[in-house]
Amino acid sequence: MNRNAFSLAGAVIALVALTGAATLDGGDSTAAPTASAARLPVQRTSLLCPEPSPSDFATTQYTSFTPKGSGTGGSARLVPVTPKAKPVAPLAAAGKPVTATTDKSDAPALIGSADGSLAPGWTVQQTTVVDSGEGRGLLGASCVAPDSEFWFPGASTMSTRQDYVQLINPDPTPAVVDVELYGTDGQLKASTGDGITVPGGGSEPVLLSTIVADKAADLTVHVVARSGRVGALLESTDTKAGADWMAPAADPATSLVLPGIPADATDVRLVAFATGSDDADLTLKLATSTGTITPAGHETLHVKSGMSTPVDLGNVTKGDAGSLIIGSSDVHTPVPVVAALRITRGKGTKQEIALLPATAPIGTRASVADNRAKASRLSLTALGGPVGVRITSSAGSRGGTAATTTVTVKAGTTLAMAPPQPSGLKGSFAVTVERLSGGQLYASRTLALPLGGVQMFTIQPMPDDHGTVSVPQADPDLRILDR
């Protein structure tokens, strides 16, 4: 066989190897290739957890969980950015959470990875209780995947606030990041927000009030990685009203859903931001337990391009838990926006806040870890039609048996409910929400841990876990041999 024959044979072998599902079956060699996409479990997942709290009165619990799947093997672990530190809450099996706690005020950020059967749907919850001091509150965060761009509406540099953007770099090489702040009059001129270097395998907390001279409320923070990739979360501390983490807002879109405003919310404040070059004209609606209504006095909202627009919605839920739905009133040229809510429970010295960004829908499945007996509540919102939902509560971290229930969420409504509690529960448990049929499903989890008369709470959005990925399948095209 000559060199050209070897080359042609190699091309055929390479083609078969690349397509994976391709077969040579002696059929018509002139037929065009056919391709379809199969959804297969992801093989690796990365998550990044921020520095918990500098308070001497803080206790943090990490909860790691992967829902049960069809495979076996794999590992999932979190490694502190501090050199030579031991892994935190290593996970060896799916279906049961693993926890770890720390009360160190200098606890570092964590870099996590999962592979094999523990990668699809892996989630880590970081829950911090600060029981006294100015940072008093319940701070919850689902650790985030690395990316190159993040939006955080609702930040502040006022003297009564300490807002940080926590940046974590999972890669060995440094990342260069810009932090842009947009107020009600446009972009604030930052003195040190451009070109922030986050060391490889390290973290960088950025106090917003140190990068601009302006004292401004209702800011939108835009984090952009010039080089590399990072994880980013916003930590907001109010000296009088508590503290919480904010997950990155859903990508800019012409319609948004913010699911899970508690029934007893005493104040709800919306901050919206138009990310493009045009102004946005928006509609506001509330999906309640019985249907969709328009909040009185807040039917529409005009958002100028490049300017944060705040709206005080007050006690908009009026005793009935709901979800805010933002749409475009301009059907011809809708403008993408980002948005988030600052939600307050209680009054006076007993106030506590939670931060809820707009949330992406659940296509197939989402999980949230660190649920506790009689302390967790789900909010499920259906749009475009009723949605069938399966809810599974895992075994407890220290014992118990998983429990499952199936519900239907009516179109245009929000179903607020406690997840089924595992029998014989010991420790904390994870909750997995699966969309079975119907329209679009949006979800969040509220964790409430009252302390000293304060209704401390935190809300975690539940976007799709992206536990599967589309993998094209192809048939061989032997016409390549004739070229």
pLDDT band at 303 (very low <50, low <70, confident <90, very high): very high
In tens, the pLDDT along 57-84 reads 999 999 999 999 877 889 999 999 988 7
- Of the candidates 330, 357, 384, which is a domain's last residue? 357
Task: Give domain status of residue 21, yes or no.
Answer: yes
* Cα–Cα distance measured from residue 256 to residue 153, given in angstroms and rounded to the nearest whole number: 13
**Which of 432, 424, 376, 377 shows the shortest CA–CA distance to 398?**
424
pLDDT band at 47 (very low <50, low <70, confident <90, very high): very high
pLDDT band at 207 (very low <50, low <70, confident <90, very high): very high
Verify that 32 and 48 share a domain, yes or no.
Answer: no
pLDDT at 328 exceeding the cut of 70: yes
* Cα–Cα distance measured from residue 482 to residue 463, given in angstroms and rounded to the nearest whole number: 48
* Cα–Cα distance measured from residue 267 to residue 356, given in angstroms and rounded to the nearest whole number: 13
Verify that 92 and 219 share a domain, yes or no.
Answer: yes
pLDDT band at 479 (very low <50, low <70, confident <90, very high): low
pLDDT band at 253 (very low <50, low <70, confident <90, very high): very high
Residue 12: its pLDDT value, please? 34
CA–CA distances in Å: residue 266 to residues 176, 291, 343: 40, 21, 8
Verify that 203 and 260 share a domain, yes or no.
Answer: no
Residue 17: its pLDDT value, please? 38
Task: Give domain status of residue 399, yes or no.
Answer: yes
Q: What are phi and psi of 122, to 5 degrees?
A: -60, 135
Q: Is beta strand 292-293 parallel, antiparallel or unpaired with respect to 280-287?
A: antiparallel
Give exposure, 27-64, as e/b (b: 16+ Cβ within 10 Å): eeeeeeeeeeeeeeebeebbbbbbbbbebeebbbbbbb
Verify that 17 and 143 share a domain, yes or no.
Answer: no
pLDDT band at 311 (very low <50, low <70, confident <90, very high): very high
- Of the candidates 339, 357, 375, which is a domain's last residue? 357
Number of domains in the chain: 4
* Cα–Cα distance measured from residue 139 to residue 244, given in angstroms and rounded to the nearest whole number: 4
Mean pLDDT across the stretch 341-351?
95
Q: What are phi and psi of 130, to 5 degrees?
A: -105, 110
Q: How many residues are given for the chain? A: 483
Looking at residue 133, which CATH number applies to its domain?
2.60.290.11
Task: Give domain status of residue 303, yes or no.
Answer: yes
Looking at residue 408, which CATH number applies to its domain?
2.60.290
Structure tokens at 389: 């939902």
Verify that 8 and 101 share a domain, yes or no.
Answer: no
Residue 361: its pLDDT value, please? 98
Residue 4: its pLDDT value, please? 40
Residue 71: its pLDDT value, please? 75
Mean pLDDT across the stretch 362-374?
97
User: DSSP label at 106?
Assistant: T
Calculate the CA 292 to chain-centre distance: 25
pLDDT at 155 exceeding the cut of 80: yes
Residue 483: its pLDDT value, please? 57
Mean pLDDT across the stretch 399-405?
98
With beta carbons less than 8 A apart as the criterion, state whether 241 and 196 touch: no
Task: Give domain status of residue 469, yes or no.
Answer: no
Residue 58: its pLDDT value, please? 96
Verify that 210 and 157 share a domain, yes or no.
Answer: yes
Verify that 95 and 106 share a domain, yes or no.
Answer: yes
* Cα–Cα distance measured from residue 410 to residue 380, given in angstroms and rounded to the nearest whole number: 10
Residue with tokens 């761009």: 149
- Of the candidates 216, 246, 276, which is a domain's last residue? 246
Strand, helix or coil for residue 377: strand
Q: Is the four-CA dihedral 420, 434, 375, 373 of positive or negative sign?
A: positive
With beta carbons less than 8 A apart as the criterion, state whether 202 and 81 touch: yes
Task: Give domain status of residue 470, yes or no.
Answer: no
Task: Give domain status of residue 251, yes or no.
Answer: no
Task: Give domain status of residue 162, yes or no.
Answer: yes
pLDDT at 270 exceeding the cut of 80: yes
* Cα–Cα distance measured from residue 25 to residue 150, given in angstroms and rounded to the nearest whole number: 49
With beta carbons less than 8 A apart as the criterion, state whether 178 and 167 touch: no
Residue 474: its pLDDT value, please? 63
Q: Which residue has the higher pLDDT, 61 or 193?
A: 61
Verify that 101 and 198 share a domain, yes or no.
Answer: yes
pLDDT band at 322 (very low <50, low <70, confident <90, very high): very high
Mean pLDDT across the stretch 448-464?
96
Verify that 423 and 283 share a domain, yes or no.
Answer: no
pLDDT band at 39 (very low <50, low <70, confident <90, very high): confident
pLDDT at 30 exceeding the cut of 80: no
Verify that 199 and 130 share a domain, yes or no.
Answer: yes
pLDDT at 435 exceeding the cut of 50: yes
Residue with tokens 């209504």: 293
Provide the mean pLDDT of the chain: 91
Task: Give domain status of residue 464, yes or no.
Answer: no
Mean pLDDT across the stretch 447-458?
95
Query: Where does residue 86 rank: exposed (0-12), middle (13-18), buried (19+ CB within 10 A)?
Result: exposed
Q: How many CB atoms lie within 10 A of CB 470?
A: 9
Q: Which residues contact 425 (CB under 8 A, 6 or more apart)?
A: 373, 396, 399, 400
Domain of 444, in residue numbers: 365-458
Verify that 275 and 382 share a domain, yes or no.
Answer: no
Verify that 148 and 184 share a domain, yes or no.
Answer: yes
pLDDT at 403 exceeding the cut of 50: yes
pLDDT band at 133 (very low <50, low <70, confident <90, very high): confident
With beta carbons less than 8 A apart as the criterion, state whether 257 and 462 touch: no
With beta carbons less than 8 A apart as the criterion, state whether 4 and 459 touch: no
Residue 36: its pLDDT value, please? 58
pLDDT at 8 exceeding the cut of 70: no
